[in-house]
DNA sequence: GCGACTTTGTGCCTGCGTTCACAAGCGGCT
DNA sequence: AGCCGCTTGTGAACGCAGGCACAAAGTCGC
């Protein structure tokens, strides 16, 4: 591979693949759990099992952020935590605003400290006048018309859209105008944003439909009893007792 | 590539890539919206713009489910809807159970009819005795110990885990024992399941951390004013009025 | 102090997913 | 009836991500 001219300029950190970033977040959580248990050192094998990935992949992911392992020993849990937090930008806290205080908005507002802290929800918005002032999860609800001033005052960097679909694009536009460049969208809508803005979406219906697809597949390939709730012999037929775990496309783990 | 021996047997439908399945769900939603607007025919270009993807990718995705387009014309909206629903297994309704009736559980229980229907939440579970019997979103809450019998009676095919992290694995095991083979996990935990079970996870913290990562990146590459809330000239400087839209890794769309 | 063992970091290969580009096919216009 | 233009469907190229396997490097025991 030639010296990696990643377009970005020259001194850009390293260009970490998106997929690796997502996994780093998972590693971070697992590591936090280990730290609480008093574990100070971990090998790539152990960590990979706990995170449900291949150990080679894990090592490659970690190599993107630097060289912090000790050969023959493993990684120091705290060092890894610090470094991943650094790369993910968790050193400076990001303030989160939630727009749309329905059921989901409530849930998000009460989420409070996330595991491993770092994302305080500090502003809530809605259009319903009845909600104004009433604090939800300790945070007062503001009217969406005040979004610009409130976001500026509270230095909001992440906006969460939890509105009905019809309102999502308008809300998104307002967030962008207020200077928010990171948006997490729960509304089942394809948002249009300027290219400076980063959007991630969480789409419940899509997730369920994907599950439905696999369910249908299963039903097709084994057309016998359908929902017949067999007592589940469940096998646990342990053929090869080597690695008790195997990777899954989605990061879940197969228990054998 | 040899004639594609996909292990699955022989008569398996086609082997649709996972990524394509996720997009099909999005197309379905967009198409439903179009149908409501009275649109009967759509070209791959139009649909791809609405769905925020490349038109070639859209056509390839659709080609996985069959050949339903008319060259020189486009696709018939209704036909496409029917076919995508068929492939995603939405013809037979899937009953959903939600476990963990906290804030998120409430939100999910009230989600009710999803856009394009198909996923009725018909059972709720929790450990808290105070919740028993009290209906949430019209559905009574059952104790988690009754999970097997209730799931069997209501023919639950999809289980949603909305519990605290510590309880997630136990709940998952119980769902699996009850015969549920599709699980949507909101708890920040890597679940272990038998290989017959399909798990998808929605991880709020990970999503936020990915956004944080990009935010950090941005701040690094442009180290001037930081959160300085510039009034945002925001341009909307529409230089080239050709395609007003461009693809984004995440399915969001860039407005120019 | 040295050797053997353990574990990291990574080069290379393989496979999947995305994109391009074009031939095939269909409708409408003349 | 024949031609023209539009749109689909897909073969082929490309690039990225995943996984294997091994050399490098460090520790522990003797």
Judged against a pLDDT cut of 90, whether residue A137 lies above it is answered with: no
As given in the structure block, the two tokens for residue A19 are 């997929």
As given in the structure block, the two tokens for residue B33 are 């919206």
Cβ neighbours of residue B47 closer than 8 Å, sequence gap 6 or more: B27, B30, B31, B55, B58, B75
Give the DSSP H or E segment for B60.
helix B55-65
Closest CB to A211: pick one of B9, B158, B211. Answer: B158
**Which residues of chain A lie closer than 8 angstroms to B210, CB-CB?**
18, 21-22, 25, 200
Q: Give the pLDDT confidence score for residue A186 in this predicted structure.
A: 95
- Max Cα distance, chain B (Å): 62
Does residue A19 reach within 7 angstroms of strand C, measured from its CB? no
User: Among A2-11, A50-59, A130-139, B22-31, where is mean pLDDT lowest?
Assistant: A2-11
pLDDT, tens digit, 9 for 90 and up, residues B96-144:
999 999 989 999 998 765 545 678 899 999 999 999 988 998 899 999 9
Average pLDDT, chain A: 83
Closest CB to A220: pick one of B13, B185, B207. Answer: B13
Distance (Å, whole) CA B221 – CA B223: 6
Does residue B255 reach within 7 angstroms of strand C, measured from its CB? no
Closest CA to A99 of A136, A48, A72: A136
State the CB neighbour count (10 A cutoff) for residue B44: 19
CA of A67 and C1' of C6: distance in angstroms?
18
Q: What is the set of domains in chain B, with CATH numbers?
A: 18-87 (1.10.10.10), 95-205 (3.40.50.720)
Annotated binding site of A for NAD(+): 100-105
Cβ neighbours of residue B162 closer than 8 Å, sequence gap 6 or more: B98, B99, B100, B101, B102, B104, B105, B108, B186, B187
**Which residues of chain B lie closer than 8 angstroms to A219, CB-CB?**
89
Distance (Å, whole) CA A47 – CA A248: 16
**Which residues of chain B lie closer than 8 angstroms to A220, CB-CB?**
12-13
Q: Give the pLDDT confidence score for residue A223 in this predicted structure.
A: 60
Residue B188: helix, strand or coil by DSSP? coil
CA angle B163, A57, A78 (to 5 degrees): 65
What does DSSP assign to residue A116?
A: T
pLDDT-based confidence at residue B62 (cuts at 50, 70, 90)? very high
Highest mean pLDDT among A98-112, A239-253, B37-51: B37-51
Using the CA of B57, which nucleotide's C1' is the nearest one? C18
Phi/psi for B253 (5° steps) reads -130, 140
Closest CA to B79 of B52, B47, B49, B57: B47
Phi/psi for B125 (5° steps) reads -135, 150
Residue A234: helix, strand or coil by DSSP? coil
Judged against a pLDDT cut of 70, whether residue B250 lies above it is answered with: no
Does residue A119 reach within 7 angstroms of strand C, measured from its CB? no
Q: Where are the alpha helices (DSSP H) in chain A?
A: 18-36, 44-51, 55-65, 77-87, 103-111, 147-153, 165-177, 204-221
């Amino acid at each position: 591979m030639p010296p990696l001219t990643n377009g970005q300029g020259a001194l850009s950190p390293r260009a970490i693949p998106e997929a690796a970033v997502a996994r780093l977040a998972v590693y971070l959580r697992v590591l936090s759990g280990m730290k609480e248990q008093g574990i100070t050192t971990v090998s790539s094998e152990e960590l990979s099992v706990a995170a449900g990935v291949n150990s080679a992949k894990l090592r490659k992911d970690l190599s993107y952020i630097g060289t912090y392992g000790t050969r023959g020993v493993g990684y120091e849990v705290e060092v890894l935590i610090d470094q991943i937090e650094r790369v993910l930008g968790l050193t400076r806290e990001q303030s989160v605003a939630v727009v749309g205080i329905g059921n989901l908005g409530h849930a998000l507002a009460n989420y409070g400290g996330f595991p491993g802290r770092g994302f305080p929800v500090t502003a809530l918005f809605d259009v319903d006048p009845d909600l104004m002032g009433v604090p939800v999860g300790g945070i007062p609800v503001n009217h969406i018309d005040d979004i610009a001033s409130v976001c500026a005052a509270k230095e909001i960097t992440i906006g969460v859209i939890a509105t009905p679909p019809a309102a999502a694009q308008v809300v998104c536009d307002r967030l962008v105008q207020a200077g928010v460049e990171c948006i997490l969208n729960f509304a089942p809508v394809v948002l249009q944003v300027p290219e400076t803005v980063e959007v991630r979406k969480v789409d419940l219906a899509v997730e369920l439909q994907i599950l439905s697809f696999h369910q249908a597949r299963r039903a097709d390939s084994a057309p016998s009893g359908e929902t017949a709730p067999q007592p589940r012999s469940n096998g646990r037929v342990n053929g090869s007792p080597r690695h008790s775990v195997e990777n899954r496309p989605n990061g879940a783990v197969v228990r054998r």
